[in-house]
Structures are given as C-alpha cells and as structure tokens.
Amino acid sequence: MLAGTITAAPADRTIDLPYSYLHTQSWTRATNVITRSDLQRWRRDADYSGREVTRRLPDVRGLAHRPTSDERRQFAAAGTKTTRYVSGDLEPYLPEPLPTDPAELASALAPYELAGEPAYPRMLVHGVIGVATSQYLDRAQRAATLRVLADVPTIGYQGERTDLAGRTGLGFTVSADNSQTQLIIHPSTGEVLSAHEQVHGAKPGLFSYVLILERGHTTTDTRTLSGRP
C-alpha cells in the first residue's frame, strides 16, 4: 500500500521555517469560461497573515478547453497582482494541525453522514485536493490523505501518468456524480502533483486542472524554494 511506503520529501526539512509556501497553476471553470491562474502564496503559520502573487491569462470561452504546456510558458510574461493579508485573513483549508487518523481526516473533509450519497466520493477527493493546494502536508499527513483516497469506493489505478509540467507519477481516477477526477501522485513522497476533473451531463467539459509546482516553508514572504521570483 502506497501510504505505508512513502518517504520524506525534500521540503519536509523546511517545516520549522515561519512561512508556508505554495506555487500552483490552475485552470478553473467559471460558468461558461475557463479562468487561468498562476498563484504563489506565502502564509505565516503563526497568525495566518501573508502574501499572494497572482498572474492571470485571459479567460478562454467555452468548456471544452484542454490546458497546454504552451499556456504554462505564457504565465511568465503575464502581469502580476500582489495581495497582502493581515493576521487571520489567510486561513488554511482545514485547521492546523491536520489529523493523521484517516477516519478523522475523512470526516473533516466530507461529513460522514453523506457517505451514502452519490456525490460523496467526489466530495472526499475535492477535500484532498483542497488541502493539498492550501497547506503543507508532512509525511504522516500525506500518508493519512492517501489512506482516505484508498477507501474511496470508486477509485481506480491507472499506472504511470505524466502531468502538464512533465512530471511522472502514479495515476488514480475517481468517478462519481457525473464527474471523473484524475490525481497524479509522486510515487516516493506521496505528494499530489496534479489534479484534473472533467464533468459530464448538461454542461460537459473541463471543471478544473491544477498543478502543484512547489510547496514547503521559507524564511520570508518573498523567498521561494527554487530561489526564483
């Protein structure tokens, strides 16, 4: 079982630094368009203050859009918007510290009372993605999220898959509630590398695609793990 074999991630060594750092790129449905964003977020863990730097590409009309690697390169030339947050304004997806008991974590991600609903597997997967794109998960917390995913009734293993950033990991799909979500997970560290959801039904097409490019901790709200701005 993957959860029992994962190793430490390089960024686990930064966990004592004051700022949680996250860098994502995302394509997200907004009614009849797809928004495209590059986000860098620094959260001061002591008081939930911080800073975000956002780059946006023009929205794409329609819902059949497929993100490309060329779009990723375009983010570098996009204008930036900086937003600063005072104490308490940049809260994580779930309160810290995250539970490492899988049952407790699953209950925090999606109410157990809804376990019989068709949408429940989708809710759990959305919760896992929400946590992974909001806060840093240490090795034990990553293992807990993998155990939550392993218990999702409709999950299937795809073998090796490569995301839009060219990273190869283990592919898993969850089909529920007229949607299919693909997660690509780092085979050694258990980190979520990317998540891609397509929906069916009345308005089929892309629902969301997110790449988690960097995560860890930094000394200030201007430093990155790679050293690049």
Model confidence pLDDT, tens digit, residues 184-206: 999 999 999 999 999 998 899 99
pLDDT at 90 over 80: yes
- Residue 216 structure tokens: 């860890």
Count of domains observed in the chain: 1
Residue 97: inside a domain: yes
> Cα(157)–Cα(31) distance, rounded to whole angstroms?
31
Q: Please name the amino acid found at residue 95.
A: P
CA 65 to chain centre: 20
Please state, as a whole number, how many other Cβ atoms lie within 10 Å of the Cβ of residue 147: 19
Q: How confident is the model at residue 11 (pLDDT cuts 50, 70, 90)?
A: very high
- The share of the chain scoring above pLDDT 90, in percent, equals 96
Residue 186: inside a domain: yes
Number of separate helices (H) and strands (E) present in the chain: 4, 9
The answer to pTM > 0.75 is: yes
Residue 224: inside a domain: no
Q: Is 223 in a helix, a strand, or coil?
A: coil
The domain in which residue 38 lies consists of 2-218
Give pLDDT, residue 1: 73
Residue 223: inside a domain: no
Residues 6+ apart with CB under 8 A from 13: none
Residue 229: inside a domain: no
pLDDT digits (tens, 9 = 90+) for 147-185: 999 999 899 999 999 999 999 999 999 999 999 999 999
Contact 128, 145 (CB under 8 A): yes
Residues 6+ apart with CB under 8 A from 174: 121, 122, 125, 149, 152, 154, 155, 156, 180, 181, 183
- The share of the chain scoring above pLDDT 70, in percent, equals 99
Q: What is the dihedral of CA 196, 127, 74, 165, to 10 degrees?
A: -60
Q: How confident is the model at residue 229 (pLDDT cuts 50, 70, 90)?
A: low
Residue 225: inside a domain: no
- Average pLDDT score, the chain: 96
Sign of CA dihedral 24, 29, 35, 41: negative
